[in-house]
Structure formats: structure tokens, C-alpha cells
Chains A and B, each alone.
Chain A
């Protein structure tokens, strides 16, 4: 490459980086390496195999004016203070039906130790109890078709090998599965349609598969290492062949 095209290339590449970064709109992860690690999961009551964390888990809480909910396209967002947050709640614009006299609304997701396990699996991490309390009157969720702006995100504790599902337990109800999607490395999301308890659950069917998965994983690792070793050997052969050819 000559000097002029290089200057042009630097400018083009530089502008491309700036434009892509602005479009992407998020600083982390920037370009690579290893994603910034989450702090160890903070349990209310850790399982026997886990050490008790030094700090207790935190609430996701916020007190908002009603106007914040009715005139806000992004909705109201609260998250807990861990790195990264163990719970986050977003309520979309006009997603709640409140009494006309209500002036403020208090949103809280409080961590609790699991007491009642669901029938179809085991809870991974804390249970989060979501409450939405207006200063006066009652509150109900408004059903908005195709709305994806009211959601709850829960972080899966470290060390779980299987995919969890989110379950919801309404006040005075029992656990039931809700549609779950993975939205980050270890963040799982479900649409909100009610207050009550939310938790990530490792389904029973997958617990029995873990042992089998472990065997497959070991076989895959060995297979991949053999391939890499073979590629290294081939590189040496090609290079020594090229050297001989040149001599």
C-alpha cells in the first residue's frame, strides 16, 4: 500500500469505527477479549455448595410520578445494584391501570430465599417478589398486544450448566412457566403481566441430562484438541517442505 491510499484507509477505517460504535450505542463489550465479569451471585440463602456472599443482594426499587409512566416511551426502569444487576424491571408506557387519584407509584423487586419449589424443577438463585404500589387506590396490568416494553430480567447464578426457564408465582398461586428468552450471556427475560414472585428454574428434565452433556463435552474437547494438534503438525510439515523446496 502506498502512502496516499494508507491515509485514506486510516480515515475510512476511523470513521467506520466511530459510526459503528454510535450505531451500536453500547460501550461494553467494546471489541473483545473477555467480557467484564459479573460479581459472584449474591444469595439470600446460598445452597450448601455455595459460599455465602459478603454482601446481601439488593432490591430493584423506584418511586415514580404517574406522569413518568404515561409520558415516557421507554417506560420506567429499575435494577438492583450488583455488577451486573441480578434483577431489572421495566414497565412500558401505559402498561398499568391506576386509579385516577394516584399520583405516584412505587415499584419494587425484593430478593427472597426460595421456600416453595416449583413441581417441574429447582429454583436457581433468589426469588424476586415484584410489587407495584400506587400512593392510593389499586393497580392492574393493562394487556397490550405485542408489547415488549414490560419485562423482568433475572441473572442466572454462576455454575449452572443447563438453560433455565423463568417461572411466575402469583400472590396466593402456584409456580408456572412463562415465556423466557436469553437476552445476555446469563440474563433471562420474561414479559410482565402480573405482580408476584419470579425466579429462574432449572427444569427437572434437563437436570437428568447434565451427566450426559458432561460426557459429550469431554469427548468434544478431546476431539477439538486432536484437530488443533493435527493442524500444528501439518503447519510444521508445510513449512519444512517449503524450506526444502527453496534449498
Chain B
């Protein structure tokens, strides 16, 4: 049997390849959501859950692990509450009508699943690979760009500044806590609050 010894440089390439593969997987998952959701893609729960399932499978394949401890939970809650502040302020100034409670639980379960799946993929699997391949800052920025791009087909171009800023904020939370669980919590809190504010 011949023993093959790989030069060190060859192991740098798999990370780049992994980033490429993860991005193709992400694009395909988003495509699936758009095709399934049709004209009401932003409001389609089945399309959102199919998208979330694909992202979670890609994340699991990448071997991303969740870390949960008190620090992570505190950072996640604080980050989420901060995200709610501007929306609450705008809501208090405006005259938009409040949603009733009907249908909240099923919607909340789906919204939380999608939020955590997005975070597990963007600020979990992809973040880890980019951080190892390049730097943490680049991981924050690339994840924020993809986070923004993901929402354009759903809500239009007007959300670009807000979603990019929020993407950076969630990246900072990920960076501070060391895990996507905190950014997932912050993301889920902001989404769940959006029903009421």
C-alpha cells in the first residue's frame, strides 16, 4: 500500500471549496423557497419551512455545533431586545394596526424555526468556515451580505439598508458569544415581536 502524504497547502483549498459549496446550497435553498412560495413567498409558511430544512441539513453536514450557556442566553436576549427598540419607537409614532392573537402560535413556531435555521447556517456553518479561511470580520460582513440578499426577493430592495445593518448586528452578537445560538435568539425575539409592533 502506498502512503499518500498531502502537502499542507492542499488543506487550505477545502475551506474555500466548502465556502463555495455552502453558498451554492444557500442559493439553491433560497431558490426553493421562491419557487414554492410563488407570489406570496414572504408569507408562505410551507416555503419558509422547506427553506429552513435545507439550511439545517447543510448546517448539520458542515458539522456545526451549538453552544448554550448563561452568557450566550444573556447576549441573545439583550441583542434581540435592542433590535425591537427602533420598531417599537416607530410603532408608537405611527398609526399601524395591531395584529390580534389569532394564529400567533403556529406562525411563531414557523418564524422561530426559520430564524434559527438562517442563523445556524449564516452565522454558524458559513461563519465558522469563513473565519477559519479568512478572518472573523470578513465572516461578519459576508454573512450580513447574504442575510440581506436573502430578504430582497421577499420584501424588495427597500429593506437593504436595514437588513444589512441588522446582519452586521447579528454578526457582532455571534462574534461576542462565540456561537450562532445567541444571534438565533436575538433574531427570533425580533421576529416574534414583529407580530405585535
Residue positions of A touching B, CB distance < 8 A: 1, 6, 9-10, 13-14, 16-39, 81, 83, 156, 158, 160-161, 163, 182, 185-186, 217, 220-221, 224-225, 227-228, 231-232, 234-236, 238-239, 241-242, 245-246
B146 contacts the other chain (CB 8 A): no
Report the minimal beta-carbon distance from A197 to chain B, rounded to whole angstroms.
Answer: 23
B67 at the interface (CB under 8 A from A): no
A31 pairs with B43, CB closer than 8 A:
no
Bound: A29/B99 CA distance, A: 13
Q: Is chain A's interface secondary structure helix, strand, loop, or mixed overall? A: helix
A37-B45, A227-B28, A239-B63 as given contacts; A31 in contact with B14, CB under 8 Å: no
A-B contact pairs, 30 of them (CB 8 A): A16-B168, A17-B166, A20-B162, A20-B164, A20-B166, A22-B90, A24-B162, A25-B90, A27-B94, A28-B96, A29-B42, A29-B151, A30-B194, A31-B83, A31-B162, A31-B166, A32-B154, A33-B112, A33-B188, A39-B102, A83-B97, A224-B31, A224-B32, A225-B32, A228-B57, A232-B25, A232-B57, A235-B61, A236-B61, A239-B63
A45 to B94, CA, bound (A): 34
Please name all residues of chain A whose beta carbon is closer than 8 Å to the beta carbon of B187 when the two chains form the complex: 31-33
Cα A220 to Cα B190 in complex, Å, equals 32
Q: Is B182 in contact with chain A by the CB < 8 A criterion? A: no
From known contacts A27-B90, A29-B159, A163-B39, infer whether A1 and B137 are also in contact, taking CB-CB under 8 Å.
yes
A27 touches B21 (CB 8 A): no
Q: How many residues of B contact A (CB 8 A)?
A: 83
| Prevailing SS type, chain B contact patch | helix
- B74-96 contacts to A (CB < 8 Å): 82-88, 90-91, 94, 96
| Cβ contact within 8 Å between B118 and A32 | yes
In Å, the complex CA distance between A1 and B161 comes to 24
Given contacts A29-B194, A221-B35, whether A16 and B87 have CB atoms under 8 Å apart is no
B39–A19 contact, CB under 8 A?
no
Q: Is B48 an interface residue (CB 8 A)?
A: yes
On whether the beta carbons of A217 and B86 are closer than 8 Å, the reply is no
Contact check, A14 vs B82: say whether CB atoms are below 8 A apart.
Answer: yes
**Inter-chain contact A33/B111, CB cutoff 8 Å:** yes
User: Given A10-B172, A221-B32 in contact, is the A29-B155 Cβ separation under 8 Å?
Assistant: yes
Question: Closest A-chain residue to B136, C-beta based?
Answer: A1
- State A27–B147 Cα separation when bound (angstroms): 18
